Structure 1
Amino acid sequence: MSRVSQQENPAGGSVADAGSRPRLEDVAARVGLSTASVSLVLRGVPGPSERTRQRVLKAAADLGYQPDRTASLLASRRSRLLGVMVDVHSPFHAELVEHLHTAAEEFGYDLVLSTQTRTRDEHTAVETLLAFRSEALILLGPVAPADTLAALHRKAPVVAVGRRIPGAQLDVVRTADDDGVGQVVDHLVALGHRSIAHVDGGKGVIATDRRRGYRDAMRRHGLAQHVRILSGDNTERSGERAARHLLDEGELPTAVVAFNDQCAIGVLAALARAGVAVPGRVSVAGYDDDALSRLSLVDLTTVSQSAEDQARHAVRAAVERLDEGREEPREVVLAPRLVIRGSTGPAV
C-alpha cells in the first residue's frame, strides 16, 4: 500500500503534503498520541480526557481531516445504514427522504438511497440496498405482494411507508387514506357540490383505499348515484387524460378528486387549456400536499400526510428493531389533514 510522504510542521509533528487528504496518522502525529486514542476521540467514545479531546478536535480541524466512512464501515460488523427505496418521480417521496435523513442522523444512522423508475423495478432497487449492507429497509409506497415483503423482512427489517399490509410481521407507517379522501369529499359537499368525480390511482393497496374512501363518503352523503370513477395512475399524464375524457363527453362534474397531487396537476393543466375556470366552473383537489401543490400558481386543495411525522416514525421503527431487538410488528396510522387552498370553491 502506498503511503503519503510527509513533511515536518513548524508547530510540531508532521502533516501530509499539500494536496493530499489528511489521514488519521497525521492527526495523531500532530498531537503526539496513538492513532487508537485519536480514533476514540473522533468517534465520540468515552475515555479520553476533555483536554485530550479538545487537542485532537483542534488538530483535526486545523488539518481538515475527514474520516473515511467507507473504511470505517468495512472495519465494523455494523454499517449503521438504513436503505431507502424511493420513486424518483415523486415529489412527496423527495420530501420524505429529506425528513428521513434528519431523523436517521438523530439516531446515529445514515441513509442509502435506491431509486425506482419506469425502467427500474422494486426488486432491483431493494437488491441494491442489500448489496450496500443496509441494516434495515424503509420502502416508500411499495407495491410488491405482501408475501414478497414478508420474505424480504426475513433478510432485513422492513418498514413499509404509506401502504396498508394486513397481518404482516413487518412494520408499517401510513396515513388513513380512506379518511383523507373522505375529508375532501366532505369539504366539497359542504361547498354545495354533488357531481364529484374521482380520478383513480390504478392498481395497488393505496389506490384501493383512496377509491374506497371516495365511494364511502359519496354514499354517506346520499350521492351514490353520482359516483364516477375515471381510470388513472400517479402521474400528471393520467390526470390530463382523465380531464380530456370528461371534456370530450361534454358532461363536466362540478368537482374532481384526484388520486394524488401530480394527477391533480394534470387535471388542472387540461382544464386550463380548454378554458375551464378552476374553481369557478370545476373544483379540483389532490392528495399528498407535496411541494408543487403549495406553489401559488397551483394553489391546490389537498390532503397532508405529514411527511415529517411519517419519516420520524419509520426511522424509529427501524432503530427499535436493530438496537432494541423489538420483534413484534407495529403499525402506525397517522390522521390525515385537509389543506384547503384556492383550487376548490362553491359549486355553480
Structure 2
Amino acid sequence: MDQRPRLSDVAARVGVSPASVSLVLRGAPGPSAETRERVLAAAAELGYRADRTASLLARRRRHLLGVMLDVRNPFHAELVEELHVEADRSGYEVVLSTLTRNRDEDGAIETLLDFRCEALILLGPDADSSSLDKLAEQVPCVVVGRMERDAQVDVVRSADDVGVDAALDHLIGLGHSRIAFVDGGSGAVAQARRRGYRRAMRRAGLSARVLRGDHTEEGGVRAGKELLTDRPTAVMASNDRLAVGVMDAFLRAGVDVPGEVSVVGYDDSTLARLAHIDLTSVNQDAAGQARNAVRAAVSRLDGGRAQRSEFVLVPHLVVRGSTSAPVSRT
C-alpha cells in the first residue's frame, strides 16, 4: 500500500485547501508569504514530493521528449545530460529508452511511443530512411549524429568529413603516411566516417587501410592485435571506444603509444579525457547538439513548425598525448 504523503496531507497539516498548497508548490501567485512558509515547512516535515507522472497526466499535453540512446556509448551519456538541461529550460521532461545487447532500436522506440512522448530524439540511429519516415508520420522526430536527407525528420549532426579531415591533417602534419583506420561497423555514422577517411587519404595520395571493427572496446582490441603483424605508424578509430581498445592491445603487446604508434579517436568522450588514456580525439560539441535537438523538437510542438530542418555543427580536434611524430624504424 502506498503510504507516501499526499497533497491533502500537507493541506490538512497547515489548515488550508489542497488548491492553495498546489499554488505554493508550483510557485504560482495567490497565497500570502506566511502561508507559503507554512506550506513549505509542512511539506518538508512530511517528506512530501509531487507526483510528476500524475501531474503530467492531468495536463492536456504530456510535455515528454523521448530519447533513444545506446547505454554503452559514453558520448550518448554526455548528450543525454545536456538534453536534460535543455529540456528543463523549455519546460519538458525527458524519457530515456536504451539499446542493450538484447534490445534493438525497434524495441527502444516502441517503449517511447508507449509512454506517449510528444517527440522523439534518436541518438545515432541505424534505421533506414523508410523506417524513419514512417516513424515521423506518427510523431515528430529528431535524428542526432548522422546525415539523413530522405526521411522527413529533423537532423542535428556534426560535419563528420570535417572531423575526419582534421584528425588526418594532424597526423599527416606530424609526418605520418602509414595511417590505418579501424571501422565502426555498418551503421550510418560509421559509414560516413569510413568514407571520410578513404576520401582524405586519396586526396593526400596515401594508401588506405581499413580494419573491420564495431563500436566497442572489444572490436578495438581485435583490430589492435591484427595491426601488430604489420604495424602502421598511426591509427585512427571511428570512435573513442575503439581507440581505447586499440591502445589496450598495443599496451599488452609492449607497443608504446605514441612512441611507436599514434592513436586518434572520435567523439572526445569522457574516456578520451582520462589522464592514463589522454586520447587525441575529435570533439563534436555535445552541448550544441543537445541544444539544437531540443529546439528542433520544441519548435515543432510549441511553434507549429512543419518544414524539415538540419543543423550541422563544425567539430574540432582536441590534441592530447596519444599522438606524436613517427619514429624512424631501424
Task: Select the residue among 47, 68, 80 that pairs with 2:51.
Answer: 68
Partner residue, 1:234: 215
- Greater mean alpha carbon deviation, residues 29-38 or residues 155-164: 29-38
Structure 2 residue 289 is matched with structure 1 residue 306: no
| Separation of aligned partners in 2, 1:116 and 1:63 | 38
Gaps of 5+ in 1: 5-19
Q: Deviations over 1:121-154 (max 9, x none)?
A: 0000010111112111111110001111111112
Q: Deviations over 1:105-133 (max 9, x none)?
A: 11222111111012110000010111112
Q: What is the correspondence of 1:63-142 to structure 2 with a 5 Å cutoff?
A: 63-142=46-125
| Separation of aligned partners in 2, 1:49 and 1:325 | 38
Q: Deviations over 1:229-277 (max 9, x none)?
A: 11111111111111222223xx211111001000011111111111111
1:168 and 1:329 in contact (8 A); partners too = no
Task: Select the residue among 104, 108, 133 that pairs with 1:150.
Answer: 133
Report the AA paired with residue 245 of structure 1. Answer: E
| Separation of aligned partners in 2, 1:130 and 1:42 | 30
| Separation of aligned partners in 1, 2:25 and 2:300 | 27
Task: Select the residue among 227, 233, 243 that pairs with 2:224.
Answer: 243
Larger radius of gyration: 1
Partner residue, 2:150: 167
Partner residue, 2:270: 291
| Separation of aligned partners in 2, 1:198 and 1:222 | 16
| Separation of aligned partners in 2, 1:310 and 1:52 | 43
Structure 2 residue 258 is matched with structure 1 residue 282: no
Displacement after TM superposition at 1:168 (Å): 2.8
Partner residue, 1:256: 235
2:129 and 2:150 in contact (8 A); partners too = no
3-state secondary structure, aligned to 2:24: helix
Gaps of 5+ in 2: none
Q: What TM-score, normalized to structure 1?
A: 0.89
Partner residue, 2:320: 341
Q: What TM-score, normalized to structure 2?
A: 0.93
| Separation of aligned partners in 2, 1:149 and 1:115 | 17
Report the AA paired with residue 335 of structure 1. Answer: V
3-state secondary structure, aligned to 1:280: coil
- Greater mean alpha carbon deviation, residues 130-139 or residues 338-347: 130-139
Q: Deviations over 1:91-116 (max 9, x none)?
A: 11111111111211112221111110
Task: Select the residue among 4, 10, 17 that pairs with 1:34.
Answer: 17
Partner residue, 2:250: 271
Displacement after TM superposition at 1:21 (Å): 2.6
| Separation of aligned partners in 1, 2:43 and 2:234 | 61
- Greater mean alpha carbon deviation, residues 57-66 or residues 128-137: 57-66
Q: Across the two proteins, how many residue pairs are aligned to each other?
A: 327
| Separation of aligned partners in 1, 2:220 and 2:303 | 45
Displacement after TM superposition at 1:332 (Å): 0.8
Q: Deviations over 1:35-62 (max 9, x none)?
A: 2233233234455555654554344334
Displacement after TM superposition at 1:30 (Å): 3.5
3-state secondary structure, aligned to 1:120: coil
Displacement after TM superposition at 1:192 (Å): 0.4
1:232 and 1:242 in contact (8 A); partners too = yes
Displacement after TM superposition at 1:282 (Å): 0.8
3-state secondary structure, aligned to 1:139: strand
Query: What root-mean-square deviation, in Å, do the aligned CA atoms of Structure 1 and Structure 2 show?
Result: 1.8
3-state secondary structure, aligned to 2:164: helix
3-state secondary structure, aligned to 2:267: coil
Report the AA paired with residue 275 of structure 1. Answer: G
Displacement after TM superposition at 1:305 (Å): 0.9
Task: Select the residue among 143, 163, 168 that pairs with 1:185.
Answer: 168
| Separation of aligned partners in 1, 2:304 and 2:36 | 33
Partner residue, 1:16: none
Displacement after TM superposition at 1:74 (Å): 2.6
- Greater mean alpha carbon deviation, residues 265-274 or residues 239-248: 239-248
| Separation of aligned partners in 1, 2:303 and 2:23 | 24
